[in-house]
A and B are shown apart, each in its own frame.
Chain A
Amino acid sequence: MLKGRHLIEPGDFQLNEIESIMQLADNIIADPEGYSLVCKGKLLASLFYEPSTRTRFSFEAAMLRLGGEIIGFDDPNNSSVSKGESLGDTIRTIECYSDIAVIRHPREGTARLVSKFANEMPIINAGDGGHEHPTQTLTDLLTIRKFKGGCNNHVVGVCGDLLFGRTIHSLVKTLNRYQGIRFVFISPTELKMPAHILNQLDPQTYKETTSLDEVIGELDILYMSRVQRERFVSEEEYLRLKNYYILDKRKMKGAKADMIVMHPLPRVNEIATEVDEDPRAVYFAQAKYGMYVRMALIAKLLGVEDRK
């Protein structure tokens, strides 16, 4: 039963609960009209303490497509925060008006903290600094499910900045709960998967490499991520590594015919635009599934899916 629950990190939900969200997302995709009024009369508070277009639009579009409405802010300077109000007071007040809240905040652990102030209003973490981004993980799982038939028994290549990428950490921890998953971590030495993630994995289930070319043929799923400029002291080093992992048509020739390429977006240049036409490139579909999975999540946490 997910009604009234919070989603702060993917581990908050059991796999069968995640599966129930995926099934509802499937139903919504199959019949979006049928769900267009299930949130009628419900209000989502959209609390974005730092800029976001993609995630905020995805949540707001999700609520509107369910027939609900939205209040909120995307600039804390225009809210009571600028008057020095505590997060606890903000949430207690917003709970007087809203049925569900989505929060993005630059500080790690914020969503967990505000969930303690909400008595009945479900809180969804839309990103808390470099910590967690659980709805991106749900998006990734739905995408894998749609294109690969399920989340078990895949060889998953994860490429790019594995050290700092919060979406990658959440995804790896969650996929590790499924059966028959093997990981191939592809990164520069400077951006390897951190020990606290590797320690959670069976050493038999992963390998690490610096070469995408060498391993691309083994993969069922290639999850690309952006190498971030701000992580590097040396501009020269950044440019070398940034260009090292450009996925292009030539590299795609070495991949399986049914491998899929995923990316949380935005990309910079790590996937050449020529790859966009390849049917194996699913990152824009992934963004669309992000909206559907958020629709399913909102409906589940509000317990309104049966209103259809």
Chain B
Amino acid sequence: MINVSKLKKGIIIDHIEAGHGFEIYKELHLNDIDDVVVLLKNIPSKKMKQKDLIKIETDLQIDMTVLGLIDPNVTINFVKNGELYKKISLTLPTVVNGIMTCKNPRCITQYEDVKDIKFFLVNEEKKQYRCEYCDAYTTFIDEE
């Protein structure tokens, strides 16, 4: 087992479904920040058998909306002075702004440079969202 030292400040994203860690790393643009970031994958877990985990030693505020879209079962732990001071579980956001793109090939957003497209949650079970322009249903991650 690889040991990573205890976080003094920042965010721990835990209970990431094994294999989703790198997706979250990319979508949170963690490559672009100068702080220490650790991505651990395939960690043995009693509850999940295997899980991924990300530690970010930072003071930055990070928009976590995208986490709910990729893996709504993750938990986020906020650490200050080496102590856990806040823990939140995620749910699917009801409105997503500027993160998703419409997959309808006939949607105008495929042809024009449209910023900050809004999507509205329509089916929690299927993680489906409705495009504000064409009303087509879409998901953030392709169905497997």
Contact = CB atoms under 8 A, between A and B. Distances in A.
Interface of A: 86-88, 105-110, 112-113, 128-131, 196
A113 B106 contact: no
Interface centre among B111, B133, B137 (most CB of A within 10 A): B133
Secondary structure at the B interface, as helix, strand, loop or mixed, is: loop
Contacts, number: 46
Interface in B88-144: 102, 104, 106-114, 131-137
A128 B131 CA distance: 14
A110 B134 CA distance: 8
B114 A113 contact: yes
Contact of B107 (A86, A88, A107): A107
A109 B137 contact: no
17 contacts: A86-B112, A87-B108, A106-B106, A108-B104, A108-B107, A108-B133, A108-B135, A108-B136, A109-B102, A109-B108, A109-B131, A110-B108, A113-B112, A113-B133, A129-B134, A131-B135, A196-B137
A107 B111 contact: yes
Given A109-B108, A109-B131, 7 more contacts: A88-B112, A106-B106, A108-B107, A108-B134, A108-B135, A113-B112, A131-B134
Interface residues of B, number: 18
B56 to A, nearest CB: 35
B53 to A, nearest CB: 38
B106 A107 contact: yes
Contacts of A129: 106, 134
Contacts of A105: 108
Nearest to A113: B108
Given A87-B112, A107-B111, A112 B133 contact: yes
A108 B108 contact: yes
